[in-house]
Amino acid sequence: MPHKKPVVVVSRKLPDVIETRMMELFDTRLNVDDHPMTKAELIEAIKDADVLVPTVTDRIDAAIMSQAGPNLKLIANFGTGVDHIDLASARQRGITVTNTPGVLTEDTADMAMALILAVPRRISEGERLIRSGEWKGWGPTFMLGHRIWGKRLGIIGMGRIGQAVARRAKAFGMSIHYHNRKKVHPDIEAELEATYWESLDQMLARMDVVTVHCPHTPATFHLLSARRLEVLPKHAYVVNTARGEIVDENALTRMLIRGDLAGAGLDVFEHEPAVNPKLLSLNNVVLLPHLGSATIEGRIDMGEKVLINIKTFADGHHPPDRVLASMF
């Protein structure tokens, strides 16, 4: 008797090459029209599933898992962050959770570096001016920004992505500083000429640009709180390509409006896809629709990791990318 293929439910449209391979390997249920599935749809979809493949837009909480059928034994997340999955409930139910680490490092670091450049140099503001037809020509004092060469960059979370950002920023002449749960290896510190700050507050008070690269956990919710944002110098910029919940978005918005911060580059938002409407009217903010990992190469690499995790699990082995603990 042939081995029964596991039933795999995919919550969103994935790259064609990944979906094709998934259908060859497994009994796959695809989301053909790519609509964000409602809670009721997710519950219905996983009743007969062996494997669920969710994305960051799916909230896989205890209520959803309690409605899953007895066959659900693997949640193979399409993405690195797993803050949308109730890991404690999964553990209690004997459900393994995997993610796709490593493959998004360079793409996300590219986007962070783009924002580090774009905000001080007013790139988005200048582009809007051109499109408006209001540009009157060059002038010696026209739209002056700030150079980043020689500026101090504070990195919150010095994992893979944080280190990749540091390498880029160092090449642009920035001074690298970081706050992390623990110091990185001395060889990495030496390579990046990076300064470790045990106290986040003390680091923030001395930075020109701060960029966020830690995961969202209960411990990092509003890590950049109103109090901590007020520690930053008025000339500082905040960049976030990690998770919106790490920054108190309302407090950040108020400070930007008052001129207590120079600007911000945000690829993620606390209540996305909703964005604080007051942010939309600010010229000193660059806003992007969660594009940090949005490359064809990155999405395919993510899908291949999902395939490997499911196939390994279905073959009775521990998948390589089991989620065990926070990296921050």
CA 269/CA 287 separation, integer angstroms: 9
CA 321/CA 76 separation, integer angstroms: 9
The residues facing 237 across adjacent strands are: 209, 263
Q: Hey, is 158 helix, strand or coil?
A: coil
Q: Please work out, in degrees rounded to the nearest 5, the angle formed at the alpha carbon of residue 50 by the alpha carbons of 17 and 75.
A: 70
CB 72 within 8 Å of CB 6: no
Has 243 been annotated as catalytic? yes
Has 21 been annotated as catalytic? no
Q: Hey, is 97 helix, strand or coil?
A: strand
Has 304 been annotated as catalytic? no
Q: What is the DSSP string of 177-231?
A: EEE-SSPPPHHHHHHHT-EE-S-HHHHHTT-SEEEE-S---TTTTTSB-HHHHHH
Amino acid found at 280: L
The count of residues in the chain is 328
Question: Pick the catalytic residue: 243, 249, 270, 299?
Answer: 243
Question: Pick the catalytic residue: 254, 272, 304, 322?
Answer: 272
Q: Where are the beta strands (DSSP E) in the chain?
A: 7-10, 27-29, 51-53, 74-76, 96-98, 152-156, 175-179, 195-196, 209-212, 237-240, 263-266, 285-287
The residues facing 28 across adjacent strands are: 8
Q: Annotated active-site positions, please?
A: 243, 272, 290
